[in-house]
Amino acid sequence: MSDPAKSGAPEPLLEMRGVTKRFPGVVALDCVDFSANAGEVHALMGANGAGKSTLMKILAGVYPLDEGEIRLGGVPLHADDPRAAQRQGIAIIHQELNQVAELRAFENFFLGRELKRARWVLDEGRMKVETRRWVAQLGLDLDPDRKVGQLRVAERQLLEIGKAMSLKARVLVMDEPTTALNVEEVGQLFMVMRRLRAAGLAIVYISHRMEEVFAIGDRVTVLRDGRRVDSRPIGDFTRASLIQAMVGHEPAGAIPARPRSVGGEVLGVRGLEVRGTADRCGLHEIDLTVKAGQIIGVAGLLGSGRTELLEALFGVPNPRRVRGTVTVRGRAVRLSSPRDAIRAGISFVTEDRKGQSLVLPRSVLENASLAGLSLFVRRPLPFLDLRAEQRAVEEMVARLDIKPPTLRTTVASLSGGNQQKVALARFLLLCPALFLLDEPTQGVDVAAKAEIYALVDDLAREGAGVLLASSDIPELLALCDAIHVMCEGRITGSLPRGEATQERILDLATRFGRARTSGRQETASP
């Protein structure tokens, strides 16, 4: 290739012009222009379903484009399939990293292009050295013999980026890379990105997190409904104007903090202990209460026990691992299965929509009514009253503004925000006393986020108790009456509304080592 675009190239390194993509019945991209210069981080933003991932999939050769052209370094890009795109210098770091968990780091690094001695024999030694060298350039000392499944997400990401570098990538697309990272890891990732930018790469950065885009982005392109609505240097945007560009109207923003009336105790937890397993952390000495009308937050870093707490309250872990008392509306309940928990009036919307919430090949209707089918059984015969079911779900679809508003579409074809609404609808039908919500707005666009906040607020107003676990601290601050902060399976502090700040939460969330000797120092593990 002519010249790898050094200092301030006048012509963009990557240029996509008039890109149009139609799917049956829908124009996913309508004549979109997008360009990225060497040595810049270009943020690509837009609500779910705006066309970001379609655009990037076209770039990566996953989808053919219907109209338009793509040029890389002035030369037309022939991205007929992912390998061709990769060969010409396009690398994509997917949100769900495409790695084989059972293979070792260096095997993943060289997957499909293994180094060989003679003609057939794998040269493991050289592959290990090479893997280590590339990853070390990104500031990570990685043992290439470790299985990828045992690496942390941040390490896996760097492994993938290192692989892209070794493939001489010139354009690096990062799709929501920080979703599963903690604050420190995000900082490290940004350092790597800055270094790559300085080395002349064009980085396309896709994220829903505003703060990150302002921290790392040089330029922003906003897509909405398959069209490019704006593309300017980051300095031209404010948080509000960026959100407005994405949603097309001023968002409702944080819900107004109107006080809610608080009723009797819905959930009481005393001395809850859960024995840990190989892949789940344990819980220790958990005490908390949730009253009707309250939204109680659970904060903590990844692996702090947030999810495990909600799971324990929903009867997910083997009851033999659990001790302590749980009361719902004052009555002691035995939670040995999710079925028991639902009968006791508890609902749980999990963080992993596709893995744990939705039955992807089935319809919106079937997914929405799955937990509440007994409501529609016509006694004494065991047959369902399909019309009553349809009416109830239609009401939910309208109330939650699920799009498209047809009940027969499979949930697999819905956007993230709408999938989440279907997951919520399933439990709304049950009118439970207590909602356990785990990351209800993860991977959900700004507009849907505001709707979900309003909904959670409504639920509390209608007299339900809500226990909300989230890694998004501003979200907790906006919604919760009080926040319990967890670290290593314990509640390290509880902050009522008004006393909770981002700093105090982070401080409590990093009080590692109460079980160990050291006090509350921020010593990084080796």
* Binding footprint of other proteins on the chain (CB under 8 A): 22-27, 30, 49, 225-226, 314, 316, 337-339, 341-343, 348, 350, 355-362, 366, 369-371, 373-374, 376-377, 382-384, 386, 403-404, 413, 426
At its nearest, how many Å lie between other proteins and the CB of residue 382?
5
22 vs 113 by CB, closer to other proteins: 22
- What does the alpha-carbon distance between residue 491 and residue 369 come to, in Å, rounded to a whole number? 35
At its nearest, how many Å lie between other proteins and the CB of residue 33?
18
At its nearest, how many Å lie between other proteins and the CB of residue 429?
11
At its nearest, how many Å lie between other proteins and the CB of residue 314?
7
Selection from 266, 323, 302 nearest residue 489 by Cα: 302
Helix (H) or strand (E) holding 449: helix 446-461
Report the SS3 class of residue 247. helix
At its nearest, how many Å lie between other proteins and the CB of residue 225?
5
φ/ψ bin of 348: left (φ > 0), alpha (ψ from -120 to 50), beta (otherwise): beta
27 vs 153 by CB, closer to other proteins: 27
140 vs 466 by CB, closer to other proteins: 466
At its nearest, how many Å lie between other proteins and the CB of residue 31?
11
Which residues have CB under 8 Å from 41's CB, separation 6+? 193, 197, 203, 205, 216, 217, 218, 219
30 vs 265 by CB, closer to other proteins: 30
Which residues have CB under 8 Å from 426's CB, separation 6+? 357, 367, 368, 369, 370, 371, 372
At its nearest, how many Å lie between other proteins and the CB of residue 383?
5
172 forms bridges with which residues in the sheet? 91, 203
Burial 294-318 (b: 16+ CB within 10 A, else e): bbbbbbbbebbbbbbbbbbbbbbbe
284 vs 426 by CB, closer to other proteins: 426
90 vs 423 by CB, closer to other proteins: 423
Supply 416's token pair: 């993230």
Axis-axis angle for helices 124-136, 153-166 (nearest 10):
100
117 vs 339 by CB, closer to other proteins: 339
